[in-house]
Structure 1
Amino acid sequence: MSDPTTDLSYTQAMKRLRHRRWFLWGIILIYVPVIWLSLRVTGSDRATAIVFAVWLLLVCVAVVRAAFALCPRCGNTFHMNGFVPLYLRQCVHCQLHITEDSLPAEEADTEEETSP
């Protein structure tokens, strides 16, 4: 049987990873509506350029946060293999799926044996 704190930290790490991915895709999806709204409300290209610059900054932050998120199973970056981020639904190193919230039984047993 696995330690509840280990399962909790594993679950929290997966939740944090999914949150970072949702933030990235959410920022990408709001681009067109935000730019359109900025043009309609202000009618100014300069104000829209400022909105675009803020959006671009948010995208850069979201990309870096998602790309360098660590996999709770193997400890490597979840989305990066080398210099290229691959935003797949599984770890590029150990193939852990993004929706797996608990340790597999064999890993839980191994952690229990190594824990003092």
Structure 2
Amino acid sequence: MTVNSGPPVTLTVIDAAFAGLTAHSTPRPDITVTAGTTRRVTVSISVSDCNGLPLNADLPFLDVTLRNKRAIQRHSFIFGSAYAHDLSRLLHTACDHSPASLPSRPSGSAGSQNAD
């Protein structure tokens, strides 16, 4: 994040692309950058609920809020294909579980119950 001029700007990561994802930034919780400086921001996304998440994210976005003394702005950023690929890989890893196999049925007289 770079601020070219003016008062310091604070960045807050609000939300990841879909409900069920949680975004965290490092440093946390808010990142303030003064004019003429650049600050590296790392955003980590984790899965909190797999229900309704598309496993193949197409155009995922990240919502952020920028604010300074004069204004507050909310933005949605759509990143390139590398972000979509990484997010899809995360979703598949966290949410794409094959159904567990059923336990085998006992066989023989010990597992049988007969009623006449």
Q: For the superposition of Structure 1 and Structure 2, which TM-score range results when normalised by the shorter chain?
A: under 0.3
**So what's the TM-score if we normalise by structure 2?**
0.25
Answer 1 or 2: which has greater strand percent.
2
* Higher-RCO chain (CA-CA 8 Å, sequence separation at least 6): 1
**So what's the TM-score if we normalise by structure 1?**
0.25
Q: Which has the higher Rg, Structure 1 or Structure 2?
A: 2
Answer 1 or 2: which has greater helix percent.
1
